[in-house]
Amino acid sequence: MSPAFAAGQRIAALGSVRHVGIVTDETVGRLHAESLESALGAAGLASSRITVPPGETSKSFSMFAEVCDGLLAAKIERKDVVVALGGGVVGDLAGFAAATLRRGVRLVQVPTTLLAQIDSSVGGKTGINARHGTNLVGACHQPALVLADTAVIDTLPLRERKAGYAEVLKYGLINDPGFFEWCERHGEAAMAGGAERDHAVRVSCAAKTAIVLSDEHEHGERALLNLGHTFAHAIERIVAYDNSRIVHGEAVSIGLALAFRFSARLGLCPGQDTVRVLRHLARMGMPTTLADVPGGVGSADTMLDAMAQDKKVSAGQLTFTADVLDFLATEISGA
């Protein structure tokens, strides 16, 4: 049974589905939408396709309205299904539309990037970006089904495959030293595909699922999943979500490196651990400094201002100490 045909059968098996609204982007749609539509048709399901431009800028109020209008025009009902066919941007955007359309329509995630397969498609976070920052408008809406075909990753450019690796590594860094050691030994093989990649996807999904089950709405343990992301989201905001300058996974890689260097500076992380993390990221060809952002990020104050709008701010305060401004100034100067 082909992966596409299996998707049609699995979605039909959810029950009471009459019509499927497929949300995808122009790039993924050209590669995979027709096979999914054929599989849905073979399973007795009608489908309609809503296509958005690729890239982070599609996570906007205007595109959210366009997707919702498209789904309503297709007469997607509450017992129907919205399918997010694409990477993290499509998953977040389509997921938020599903969460709000008719006050909640079932969502199926069909992630087509490594990053989406091991992170954003699992856990139920959906949303769009606002002028003030990343993912500031959204909802928790758990998918009824996640279908990840790891072979699809082979269609991605090397840059996208490498960018997704930062999120894989994160799971080893937050609570699984054994998996981090596995990454040190098998990271290159995992990026090449095959059994190592499948293992990395399985471990990452299991790790995120366990954390989400214990803390769905991020009141405690789930905050671990944000490792490096306060820095990363600030970088993305500063570059105006321009994927030609930096993609999300690259920003996360820099964010991880900054988080470990900052922790070492505060005496909260052994220096040798920071060296291991930085060495591994560099070996995998990942960016690790603010100087790696094309065009730069401006001043330390610019970074701090971008960080101040992060969704993890509480009582008007970042979950960092005041030392962060001096740290950022040092990082930007390269001293």
- Give catalytic status of residue 245 as yes or no: no
* Catalytic residue (one of 196, 218, 236, 250): 218
Tokens of 76: 């997607």
- Give catalytic status of residue 248 as yes or no: yes
- Give catalytic status of residue 233 as yes or no: yes
CA gap 244, 225 in Å, rounded: 26
- Give catalytic status of residue 103 as yes or no: yes
* Catalytic residue (one of 208, 261, 280, 311): 208
* Catalytic residue (one of 197, 237, 248, 280): 248
Closest C-alpha among 202, 284, 276, 221 to residue 249? 284
* Catalytic residue (one of 59, 129, 135, 226): 226
- Give catalytic status of residue 218 as yes or no: yes
Q: What are phi and psi of 146, to 5 degrees?
A: -125, 125
Cβ neighbour number for residue 130 with a 10 Å cutoff: 17
Secondary element (H or E) of residue 301: helix 300-307
* Catalytic residue (one of 37, 56, 160, 167): 167
Inter-residue contact 85 to 36 (CB < 8 Å): yes
- Give catalytic status of residue 222 as yes or no: yes
* Catalytic residue (one of 49, 161, 170, 233): 233
Tokens of 271: 């220096």
Residue that the structure tokens 């919702």 belong to = 68
Give the three-class secondary structure for 297. Answer: coil
Q: What 3 state SS string does 76-97 have?
A: CCCCCEEEEEECHHHHHHHHHH
* Catalytic residue (one of 125, 162, 170, 261): 125
Give CA separation, 85 vs 25, 92, 189, 235, in Å.
Answer: 8, 11, 26, 26
* Catalytic residue (one of 59, 197, 222, 261): 222
- Give catalytic status of residue 219 as yes or no: no
Q: Name the CA dihedral angle for 62, 56, 28, 153, rounded to a multiple of 10 degrees.
A: -160
- Give catalytic status of residue 167 as yes or no: yes
Inter-residue contact 234 to 310 (CB < 8 Å): yes
CA gap 90, 112 in Å, rounded: 10
Where do runs of H (alpha helix) occur along 153-285? 158-175, 177-192, 195-214, 229-238, 248-265, 271-283
- Give catalytic status of residue 18 as yes or no: no
Tokens of 236: 């993305």
Tokens of 300: 């330390």
Give catalytic residues, as residue numbers: 103, 125, 167, 208, 218, 222, 226, 229, 233, 248
